[in-house]
Amino acid sequence: MNQKILIVIIAAIVLIAGSVVVIRNHKAAFASKDSEETNVPVNQLLAQASKYEEQGDKLKAKEAYDQIISNYPDYDKIEDVQDKLGKLNIELIFSPAQMPQTISYEIVPGDSLGKLARKYKTTPQLIKRANGLKSDVIRTGEKLRIWSAPFNVLVNKSQNVLFLKSGQEVLKIYHVSTGKDNITPVGSFKIASKIENPVWFRNGGPPIPSESPENELGSRWMGFDTDSHYGIHGTLHPESIGQQVTAGCVRMKNADVEELFDIIPGGTEVVIQN
């Protein structure tokens, strides 16, 4: 009798194990099928985006990338798509292309780049780059393309990434470094100061000029309003990007911080979260 019971138990275990294998195989098959079904429209959209970029139609290419990110967030190479879209968005921001976030402005007597930047809450650098200006000189009657929509910045410390946004739209994702031992402050801040090639006032030591190889601030500084010791800046150590190693600031590659510096004006909101 005991032997029969043992046989029944063993048979049941084998049956259950077989069922588990079947279920797993079915799940794997469904996952593979879902992945294949996702890849078909994504590949079509990627091909469209590539074609539009070759034709110079960056706005249509942007639409194709936007569709992938909105409709297929589980695509296994979604980060590559985000990188392509981020690069394209920056090209559009610095281009003369008219977009929903831009206006066409005719220069009148008394205008200057600084005055227009303050009026439309943008930067002189962005106006210059978008209009191909080689100097600060502007002439009455000329038309300028001006980005008038506000930007905002979100920093995620756990992922060490910085999101450049306009409204709710993520325009580009940058990799950054944040404070060691989680000391980068959390909260909402505003950009209160912007300095090109900043001098580093190191605690307990003499000021270190911008050209010095010991200057830890890199090529740009954007300080926060609530505490002037914290801000977003460049780096001498690009290999540290992606790690929590700073004294509390948000550190970017110099090329990235220079790009961001030209885009966001003083007063831009910066939200830092864990």
- Averaged pLDDT of the chain: 89
Q: Is the pLDDT of residue 106 over 60?
A: yes
Which of 21-30, 72-81, 120-129 is predicted least confidently? Answer: 21-30
Q: For residue 29, what pLDDT is reported?
A: 42
Apex CA 260: angle with CA 167 and CA 107, to 5°? Answer: 75
Structure confidence by residue, pLDDT tens digits, 30-40: 444 455 555 77
Q: For residue 39, what pLDDT is reported?
A: 72
Q: Which CATH superfamily is domain 152-273 in?
A: L,D-transpeptidase catalytic domain-like (2.40.440.10)
Q: For residue 13, what pLDDT is reported?
A: 54
Give the β-pairing of 269-273 and 231-233. unpaired
Q: For residue 21, what pLDDT is reported?
A: 47
Q: For residue 210, what pLDDT is reported?
A: 85
Confidence of residue 50 (pLDDT cuts 50, 70, 90): very high
Rounded average pLDDT over 45-70: 95
Q: For residue 16, what pLDDT is reported?
A: 54
Q: Is the pLDDT of residue 24 over 80?
A: no
Q: Is the pLDDT of residue 263 over 70?
A: yes
Confidence of residue 112 (pLDDT cuts 50, 70, 90): very high
Q: For residue 236, what pLDDT is reported?
A: 87
State the Cα–Cα distance between residues 217 and 183, nearest whole angstrom: 18
Domain ranges of the chain: 2-93, 102-147, 152-273
Which of 108-112, 205-209, 256-260 is predicted least confidently? Answer: 205-209
Rounded average pLDDT over 267-272: 98
Bridge partner list, 251: 177, 233
Rounded average pLDDT over 158-181: 96
Q: For residue 4, what pLDDT is reported?
A: 59
Q: Is the pLDDT of residue 2 over 60?
A: no
- The domain defined by 102-147 folds into Membrane-bound Lytic Murein Transglycosylase D; Chain A (3.10.350)
- Cβ neighbours around 101 below 10 Å, total: 17
Q: At what angle do helices 78-93 and 2-55 cross, to 10 degrees?
A: 20
Catalytic positions, written as ranges = 233, 249
Rounded average pLDDT over 159-163: 97
Which of 29-38, 98-107, 151-160, 200-209 is predicted least confidently? Answer: 29-38
State the Cα–Cα distance between residues 119 and 117, nearest whole angstrom: 6
